């Protein structure tokens, strides 16, 4: 009897291995935008923008509604973000750029039998990991942004790769677009299709941020004068949306190429961005804050084995790497901070992480759970508490309400726990706090600030 049971188990194990071997690994096309907010896709509720091809991915795939960049240790947040995406590890784990010698997305996919392809910008990226791709291509991001056809260079090269490659192995293509990061130069017809008077302001628009968040005069904040005016923000949103529409066109070309070639029918498409951007929200312009408009990214999966729908699970962008490994049946390497959210992606679990820790340099720390977000500004001993369920635009600070004292205490302890886990050494308060008030620089002071960032006066 025992021998019969063992034989049955052996048969089932053998059958399972045979089934997995008979199921070809899917191609993975990972499209990463630069500075694209989570709320800039029409099918996700933005009536002012035109993104027909991203809309098609939304309709046939899974939307992760709460995908976050963990933050950054430098003003160019795209650098730590892209390093975390490709390394699966928090930026606190390394100095500068993530090592290409540790486990990383490129090496893991190559070990799984994939032909790996990267094309993107060289600066503010994960160059040590990108060197590990079998095909590693770079573009001049500033020239590409000014060329008036967003995403075209990377798309043209990717189409040639798909057309000419041998198909004896699945591919992993990581296309790290240069746009909609500024300078924003859309096609003329795309810009003309947007009337700035018809573009609504962000619901949390402010002329000036109400206090000094520790990064008020960084380069990005100098892209619009203080106070921010409705006309100026609408003008910038017009360019921003027009560039995203241009990128969407290139994504359409890629999707058409996949659909027209039977050998690429088994392809999972992922779309995301390294982080978001303020563009007038909270009186800010850049991504140097822990508000949702700056740390939240779009995240879409579409293709074979991916159900349709949405998930509110809390995920990091650095979770994408182990999730893809899980999706293709490959083991997660040791030492990653990223965790697979495949059960949430496949609708087998409504949740992933209990909460998310967010950090920006030494000047901002936050914790986001399934309902609330607490932001702490250690240099000025200031904090904010938002109820994201009822206040998704983060407009009403609840931190002064007596009924939230215990919640703030518990969430602060949660931040400290995350700091220990991720080896984040920065304190959450200052013995000699700086003034909270922010006074925008003017005259000679403004000229000096712009000179510091090599910007014309």
3-state secondary structure 49-86: CCCHHHHHHHHHCEEEEEEECCEECCCCCHHHHHHHHH
Q: What integer pLDDT is reported at residue 22 of this predicted model?
A: 53
pLDDT at 446 over 70: yes
pLDDT at 10 over 90: no
CATH annotation of 359-452: 3.30.1120.10
CB–CB of 89/339 below 8 Å? no
Arithmetic mean of pLDDT, 65-88: 98
Arithmetic mean of pLDDT, 159-176: 98
Phi-psi region of 454 (alpha: psi -120 to 50; beta: other; left: phi over 0): left
pLDDT, tens only, 11-28: 444 444 444 445 789 999
Which residue's entry shows tokens 């990383």? 104
Q: What integer pLDDT is reported at residue 457 of this predicted model?
A: 75
**Rounded distance between C-alpha atoms, residue 68 and residue 417, angstroms:** 19
The pTM (predicted TM-score) of the whole model is 0.94
Structure tokens of 81? 């973000």
Q: What integer pLDDT is reported at residue 2 of this predicted model?
A: 43
Domains 26-354 and 359-452 share a fold: no
Closest CA to 88 of 68, 105, 74: 105
Question: In whole numbers, what is the pLDDT of the chain averaged over residues?
Answer: 95
Specify the CATH number for 26-354; select among 3.40.50.300, 2.40.110.10, 3.40.720.10, 2.60.40.10.
3.40.720.10
Output the CA–CA distances (angstroms, integers) from residue 422 to 251, 338, 414, 426, in the order listed. Answer: 36, 12, 12, 11
pLDDT, tens only, 129-140: 999 999 999 999
Structure tokens of 289? 């804050």
**Rounded distance between C-alpha atoms, residue 339 and residue 320, angstroms:** 8
Domain spans, the chain: 26-354, 359-452
Which residue's entry shows tokens 């000419």? 164
pLDDT, tens only, 378-392: 999 999 999 999 999
Q: What is the DSSP string of 91-128?
A: GGGSSSSPPSSS--HHHHHHHTT-EEEEEEESTTS-HH
Closest CA to 269 of 41, 26, 82: 26
- Kindly report the number of other CB atoms within 10 A of residue 353's CB atom: 19
């Amino acid at each position: 009897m025992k021998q019969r049971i063992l034989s049955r188990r052996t048969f089932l194990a053998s059958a399972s291995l045979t089934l997995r071997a008979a199921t070809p690994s899917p191609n993975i096309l990972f499209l990463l935008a630069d500075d694209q907010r989570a709320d800039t896709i029409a099918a996700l509720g933005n009536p002012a923008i035109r993104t027909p091809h991203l809309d098609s991915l939304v309709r046939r795939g899974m939307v992760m509604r709460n995908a976050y960049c963990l933050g950054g240790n430098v003003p160019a947040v795209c650098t730590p973000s892209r390093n975390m995406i490709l390394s699966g590890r928090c930026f606190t784990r390394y100095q500068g750029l993530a090592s290409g010698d540790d486990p990383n997305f490129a090496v893991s996919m190559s070990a799984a039998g994939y032909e790996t392809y990267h094309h993107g910008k060289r600066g503010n990226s994960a160059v040590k990991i990108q060197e590990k791709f079998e095909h590693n291509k770079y573009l001049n991001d500033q020239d590409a942004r000014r060329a008036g056809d967003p995403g075209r260079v990377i798309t043209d090269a990717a189409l040639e790769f798909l057309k000419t490659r041998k198909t004896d192995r699945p591919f992993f293509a990581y296309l790290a677009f240069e746009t909609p990061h500024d300078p924003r130069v859309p096609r003329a017809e795309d810009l003309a299709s947007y009337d700035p008077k018809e573009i609504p302001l962000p619901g949390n628009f402010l002329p000036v941020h109400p206090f000094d968040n520790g990064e008020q005069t960084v380069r990005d904040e100098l892209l619009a004068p203080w106070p921010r005016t409705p006309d100026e923000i609408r003008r910038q949103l017009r360019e921003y949306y027009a560039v995203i529409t241009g990128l969407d066109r290139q994504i359409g070309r890629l999707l058409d190429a996949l659909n027209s070639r039977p050998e690429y029918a088994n392809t999972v498409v992922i779309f995301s961005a390294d982080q978001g951007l303020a563009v007038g929200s909270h009186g800010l312009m850049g991504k140097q804050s822990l508000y949702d408009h700056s740390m939240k990214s779009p995240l879409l999966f579409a293709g074979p084995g991916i159900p349709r729908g949405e998930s509110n699970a809390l995920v990091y962008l650095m979770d994408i790497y182990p999730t893809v490994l899980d999706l293709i049946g490959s083991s997660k390497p040791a030492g990653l901070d990223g965790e697979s959210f495949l059960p949430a992606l496949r609708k087998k679990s409504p949740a992933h992480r209990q909460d998310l820790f967010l950090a920006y340099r030494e000047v901002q720390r936050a914790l986001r759970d399934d309902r609330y977000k607490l932001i702490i500004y250690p240099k000025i001993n200031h904090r904010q508490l938002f109820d994201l369920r009822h206040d998704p635009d983060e407009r009403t600070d609840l931190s002064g309400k007596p009924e939230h004292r215990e919640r703030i205490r518990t969430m602060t302890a949660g931040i400290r726990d995350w700091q220990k886990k991720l080896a984040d050494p920065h304190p959450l308060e200052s013995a000699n706090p700086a003034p909270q008030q922010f006074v925008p620089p003017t005259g000679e002071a403004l000229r000096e600030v712009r000179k510091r960032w090599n910007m014309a006066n």
